[in-house]
Amino acid sequence: MTQFRPTGYSSLPTIIKNLLIINGLVFFAQKTFGGQYGSFNFEDVFALHAFQSDLFRPWQLITHMFLHGDLGHIFGNMLALWMFGSILENIWGPKQFLLFYFLCGVGAAMIHLAAISYELMDPFKIAMADVPTMGASGAVFGILIAFVYLFPNTYIYIYFFIPMKAKWLGILYFSYELFYALRNSAGDNVARWAHVGGAIVGFVLVYIWKRNNKRF
């Protein structure tokens, strides 16, 4: 059976390595200079806010991808970026991979904003407009789905021990996120529609590129 194991840091492709470094530096700056008692509010300026919020700025469609809430948040995203993004960049090259990454991230943000705008039609939820959204999850979900589409029968080791074919992992993970996005559970602070949106954009892009035989 085909097994998938990520490469080491020294052999990482250029874009992946730089994304890891930039996200790490931004997270360090967030925790060092930001926060309640910090000198600068990173979330107000760079995290994604609803169109209806006075805090919304166009650049947040991109900058939110480099902010993370806590150590677990950034670790999970960067681990997935490293595991699945490296092979995609090696196949596509740095320019195409970077384009894919940002298209997935921005597409995920737009779908998330559309979902938030729908919810804000309820006047009792207007306070949600100023809730910041941050993280590379939308872009990372696009990368995961692209890997699943291109290598569906490759075995991935869940928790490094349990083998599962990529296609089953992708179906289960996407179904999980879609279920909770539709359920819209109170108190869920995860941007489920951003995850679903990133996966949808990633699938559409990789499907079109493969059909047009763009570096496959």
Torsion angle (degrees, nearest 10) of CA 142, 92, 85, 22: -100
Active-site residue among 39, 68, 137, 175? 137
Structure tokens at 13: 């492709």
Helix (H, G, I), strand (E, B) or coil at 155: strand
**Side-chain half-sphere CA neighbours of 191 within 13 A:** 35
Active-site residue among 64, 68, 112, 195? 195
Give, to the nearest 10 degrees, the angle between helix 94-119 and helix 14-33. 40
137 in catalytic set: yes
Q: What is the DSSP letter of 69?
A: S
185 in catalytic set: no
Structure tokens at 124: 């009792």
Query: Annotated catalytic sites, by residue?
Result: 137, 195
